[in-house]
Amino acid sequence: MELRVSEYFYSIQGEGITMGVPSVFIRLQGCNLLCSSKDWECDTIEVWKKGEPIEVKDFAYHIHKLYGKHFRAGAHLVFTGGEPMIQQDAIVEFIDYYSSKYECHPFVEIETNGTKVLSKDLLEVVDLINCSPKTSNAGMELERTIIPEVLKQIDKFPNSIFKFVINEMEDIDEVNQIIKDNELWERKIVLMPAGDCREQLTENLEMVAELCKENHYLLSTRLQISIWNKTVGV
C-alpha cells in the first residue's frame, strides 16, 4: 500500500489544543474541498495539489531515520492535508507498521475537514482528531462542508475538537447554529482567527478572543504564522 505524500517536516504544532507541541507533520496529497472566497483561501493548496506515492514500509523507514528520536522524546505525529481522510487505509497501515517495526507508537493527531466518515480501524490508532469544519466564509455551500453524520461521529470520539476559522464578528452566528444543529459539545469548540500573515492574524486575534470570552469557547492562534509568517513547510 502507498501513501501519496506532498511534504513532511519537523516543527511545532501551531493550532488547536496541542499548540506548542513539537510535531512531525505529514501532509498528504489531495482534498475533496476547494476553499476560496474574497476573505479566505486555503493556505496550503499549492503544496497538497502536488505529491508522489511512497510505499508505506519505505516511508516508515525514512520517517524513522529522520524523526524517530523525536517521537521517543514525545513529539506528536500529525497527518494533515488537504484532506488526509481520503487515505485512511494507508494511514492505518503506516501507523500499525511503524509502531510494530520500531516499537514506538507516537501520539497521533489527524487534521480533517469533517466531511469523510472515519473508519473503525483509524479510530483505534488515532489519539486526537482536530476537525476544522468549513463555514460559508470558505466560499462553499454548507451542504458540501457540514456533514452531520461525520461531525457527530467525531464528537463522540473522546479526544477531539472542532476548530472554526473566524474572519469577521458575524461568523459566530453561523458557527453557533452549526454547533446547535449537530449537538456538538461546547467544550470541544475552538475559535481561530483567519489570517495567512502576521498582520492579518494580529488584526483578527483580539476580536476572536472576545468571541471566545462571550461564548465560553477555546481560543487558538496560528503560532506558525506568528513565528514564520507566510513560510510553508516549517
pLDDT in tens, 127-183: 999 999 999 988 888 999 999 999 999 999 999 999 999 999 999 999 999 999 999
165 and 42 in contact (C-beta within 8 Å)? no
Average pLDDT of 44-49? 58
Amino acid identity of 140?
Answer: M
11 versus 35: the higher-pLDDT residue is 11
Average pLDDT of 40-61? 77
What's the pLDDT band for 32 if we cut at 50, 70, 90?
Answer: confident
Q: Decide if pLDDT at 88 tops 70.
A: yes
The string of pLDDT tens digits covering residues 183-216 is 999 999 999 999 888 998 999 999 999 999 999 9
What's the pLDDT band for 31 if we cut at 50, 70, 90?
Answer: confident
Which among 140, 95, 77, 147 is positioned nearest to 118, based on CA atoms?
147
Q: What is the pLDDT of residue 92?
A: 98
Q: What is the pLDDT of residue 49?
A: 63
Angle, vertex CA 129, rays to CA 81 and CA 180, nearest 5: 110
Q: How many CB atoms lie within 10 A of CB 228?
A: 15
Q: Decide if pLDDT at 61 tops 70.
A: yes
Q: Decide if pLDDT at 101 tops 90.
A: yes
Q: Decide if pLDDT at 113 tops 90.
A: yes
Percent of the chain clearing pLDDT 70 (strictly above): 91
Phi, psi of 164 (to 5 degrees): -110, 135
pTM: 0.92
Strands 22-28, 2-12: parallel, antiparallel or unpaired by DSSP?
A: antiparallel
Q: How far is Cα 198 from Cα 210, in angstroms, rounded to an integer?
A: 19
Average pLDDT of 119-128? 98
17 and 161 in contact (C-beta within 8 Å)? yes
